Homo-oligomer: A and B are copies of this chain.
Amino acid sequence: MTDEPIAPRRHRVVIIGSGFGGLFAAKHLKRADVDVTLIAKTTHHLFQPLLYQVATGILSVGEIAPATRIILRKNKNAEVLLGDVAGIDLENKTVTSKLLDWERVTPFDSLIVAAGAQQSYFGNDHFEAFAPGMKTVDDALELRGRILGAFEAAEVTTSEAERKRRLTFVVVGAGPTGVEVVGQIAELADRTLAGAFRTIDPTEARVILVEAAPAVLPPMGPKLGLKAQRRLERIGVEVKLNTMVTDVDYMGLTVKEDGEEKRIECAVKVWSAGVQASPLGKLIAEQSDGTEVDRAGRVIVEPDLTVKGHPNVFVIGDLMSVPGVPGMAQGAIQGAVYATKQIKSELKGSAGERKPFKYLNKGSMATVSRFSAVCQIGKIEFGGFLAWLAWLGLHLYYLVGSRNRIVAVYSWFITFLGRGRSQLAITERWVFARRAIEESREQSAQKAIG
């Protein structure tokens, strides 16, 4: 026994994830009397809405992926840990994370889980080797290598069929990411690469958008969807609606179009057809009586974004399922603000009953091509140049760091007013052994299933 007084321990908040949800949660706790631990499996905060510009050679990785710990350097109450979360124990209030040979158990009083989502192949995980998604920096660099590499490979082949295959690009899924990446592949071929080859004509590349639903950008409604579709078609994109992908392999993909199976021979396939929430969602739901996950693995949270029986455990961002809240930056940021507000006001003792989370829909948008976007704010819908200007302003506002803003504007100036792209360099890894790598990956995925 000792007579020394025990120093009152600070309230400990653990945040999982460094996306919009996790980063904004940490930022909003800057002046709170708490200790924050942010655990993430990347060292950067990824500005996911511009990832397609990394994949298509417009922006560099650094511009959209600043280091999380540098952003939070002045948040003296926050520590940032690189690690893979291996366990969450709601009962004992601990998070276990791993990095290399090291394992750490971090206790929490409040937990904010913002672990996000990854690409979903709807049970066909072996598609991934041939049709990577667009979720991480690694994905984007991989796709940049594949897209630019396909033009190089087309330039050198002597087989006409193979040349056509290498110049065919298919994007699966016509959500915002799919629309944006397909538009940029078309503009890359038509503008940036035009005249840079001697055997092929890059402007003859076939760029195809495949979507199972009957419309482009389904959540934005038929009017804007049609507008986006028309614009895509005008810049040369073939839009195939009501078309399901039934198989993907190295040589191309098989689709079901109006009930009929068809082959599309193509070198580059991009998958942006659906998302699957982080497995941490299930891990949490299993420990909470009466909390379920939805089909995409997202946690169906209480009105205060917590899980049943654990008012100190918030699930936000792409990992939470709340009717009417889309899996976009706005939803994650508002969730982060809401959760940290509850924590802060309850610590001050000033809180009564929690008011339920209310999502303020600030609208949604997607760029189709240079100078053209579609935009929906409440009941207002518009497209074209004005929507593109709105897109420009909004994305600049949310990019982290003034240096990144300046360089991004400058890069856009080059690409959209001119036709240059600053980041066309690809690494050597893929160029010479692509097929072997893809197929060995697919085999290990198949093994994992079987």
Contacts and interface: CB of A to CB of B under 8 A. Distances in A.
A140 B86 CA distance: 31
A260 interface: no
Contacts of A158: 102, 104
B429 A138 contact: yes
Interface in A181-228: 192, 195-199
A420 B43 contact: no
A157 B411 CA distance: 40
Interface string A425-445: 111110110110000000000
Interface stretch (A64-72, A120-128, A351-359, A375-383): A64-72
Interface in A79-117: 79-84, 99-102, 104
Interface in A398-450: 403-404, 406-407, 410-411, 414, 420, 422-429, 431-432, 434-435
A153 interface: yes
Interface stretch (A26-34, A55-63, A238-246, A302-310): A55-63
A97 to B, nearest CB: 8
A142 to B, nearest CB: 9
Contacts of A262: none
A257 interface: no
A137 B428 contact: yes
Contact of A73 (B83, B195, B407): B195
A156 interface: yes
A99 B62 CA distance: 31
A134 to B, nearest CB: 14
A320 to B, nearest CB: 24
How many of these chains are in the complex? Answer: 2
A43 B100 CA distance: 34
A336 to B, nearest CB: 21
Given A153-B99, A410-B406, A422-B404, A141 B62 contact: no
Given A197-B69, A406-B410, A407-B422, A81 B428 contact: no
Interface string A132-149: 000011100100000011
Contacts of A423: 60-62
Contacts of A65: 425
A370 interface: no
A281 to B, nearest CB: 20
Given A60-B60, A196-B73, A425 B155 contact: no
B432 A420 contact: no
A427 B152 contact: no
Contacts of A414: 403
Contacts of A157: 102
A138 B427 contact: yes
A267 B14 CA distance: 29
Given A81-B155, A82-B156, A424 B62 contact: yes
A67 B424 contact: yes
Nearest to A199: B79
A99 B156 contact: yes
Nearest to A424: B67
Q: Which 10 A-B pairs have the closest CB atoms?
A: A60-B60, A62-B423, A65-B425, A79-B198, A67-B424, A82-B152, A69-B196, A61-B425, A44-B425, A62-B422
Given A57-B62, A66-B424, 17 more contacts: A43-B152, A43-B425, A43-B426, A44-B424, A60-B62, A67-B196, A67-B425, A73-B195, A79-B198, A79-B199, A82-B155, A102-B153, A102-B158, A138-B428, A138-B429, A141-B427, A403-B420
